[in-house]
Amino acid sequence: MHGNLTLAKTQTSGRIKEFKLGDRLVKRMGYGAMQLAGPGVFGPPKNHAEALAVLREVIGQGVNHIDTSDFYGPHITNKLIHEALHPYHDDLTIVTKISCKRGAKGEWIPAFSTEELTQAVHDNLRNLELEVLDVVNLRCMFDVHHPAEGSIEAPLTVLAELQRKGLVRHIGLSNVTQTQIEQGRSMCEIACVQNYYNLAHRDDDAMIDKLALAGIAYVPFFPLGGFTPLQSSILTEVAQRLGSTPMQVALAWLLHRSPNILLIPGTASVNHLLENLAAGELELSAAIMAELDAIGT
């Protein structure tokens, strides 16, 4: 019976096109702006005009959820978003993140102090030219690249105070453990969680299901990260049978995985953007889903 229930949920999930992000109803296919910055997410884009064209095509395609941060560049992606899209459409939700800064050579440096977090919110407001940020994710930096345990009470208290002052509408968490989510939810309302998750990297399976029950969005990043050669070859073979690209299949699997998953694939190419968005229309059968699920085992 449990298997049938899971299958029914999976088959339905891919057809659900929108989900609540706080009080904002957003389309589940969004866009991540990180790749618009230079190599290593540092410095200006290789092609400024193309970066603006990508952002305008994002809106032209009806996407209403853009993920960014003022430490991308730094300041680069937010300034590009402002140049391309301001004044913003009323239904556009821009999600940013704080708690990191960049060194002179592009190093990722934790920035968890009250002053640094407050400054980051004001930097995002200024560079995006907004009076209030729709969603701010607190990225936990106990380990720069992976979730690691540690209390988030102090930085989350700062962010919650900025929310009370009217500078932040909703709060999310990024690079977090289940324990940190529970701590965060005991302090304030959490709108979304943004973690590393894909077909091959399934550590957050139980977390996603818990968040879905609570109506909290889950936003995975690196949809093709961490695959072994064997896992990649299986995905490629399935994609060839479907007449799609491996990235499209990986994105479609995420949409089918759970209705609370919101996608933010990034690219600096208009053609690649259109390929990614097409994944939102890809229907995966129960048999294909079972085949893809096995990659994670």
Alpha-carbon gap, residue 32 to 14, rounded angstroms? 20
User: Residue 263, by phi and psi: left (phi above 0), alpha (psi -120 to 50) or beta?
Assistant: beta
Angle between helices 76-85 and 114-128 (to 10 degrees): 30
Residue 220, H or E segment: strand 217-221
Alpha-carbon gap, residue 28 to 264, rounded angstroms? 9
Q: Where are the alpha helices (DSSP H) in the chain?
A: 2-13, 48-60, 76-85, 114-128, 153-164, 178-187, 205-213, 229-242, 246-257, 270-278, 286-293
153: tokens are: 């009470």
Contact 142/102 with Cβ under 8 angstroms?
no
Contact 150/140 with Cβ under 8 angstroms?
yes
Active site residue 88: no
What 3-state class would DSSP assign to 165? coil
201: tokens are: 């990297």
Contact 30/262 with Cβ under 8 angstroms?
yes
Contacts of 8 (CB under 8 A, 6+ apart): none
Sign, Cα dihedral of 281, 283, 289, 292: negative
Just list the catalytic residues.
Answer: 72
